[in-house]
Amino acid sequence: MAQTLIVLVHNFHASNILQALEECIQTLVEEILTLEYDEDYGRAVEERIWDRVMANNTRPIATICDQHLEMLTLIRVRAAMRAETRERIMEEASFIMETLENILHQPYPHLLPLGTLLQGMEQRMQDLVAEMGEVCIEEQHDTHISNAIWGETGVSEED
Report the alpha-carbon angle 103-108-112, nearest 5. Answer: 60
DSSP letter for 156, please.
-
Q: Which helix (H) or strand (E) is 130 found in, with range?
A: helix 114-153
Report the alpha-carbon angle 11-15-18, nearest 5. Answer: 90
Phi, psi of 108 (to 5 degrees): -135, 70
Environment class of 102 (CB within 10 Å of its CB; exposed 0-12, middle 13-18, buried 19+): exposed
Residues 82/133, Cβ–Cβ less than 8 Å: no
Per-residue pLDDT of the chain (159 residues; tens, 9 = 90+): 555 545 545 555 656 656 666 777 777 777 877 877 778 777 887 888 777 777 777 666 777 889 999 999 999 999 999 999 999 999 999 999 999 888 888 888 778 888 898 899 999 999 999 999 999 999 999 999 999 988 887 665 554
How high is the pLDDT of residue 146? Answer: 92
| Residue spans per domain, the chain | 1-153
Residues 103/109, Cβ–Cβ less than 8 Å: yes
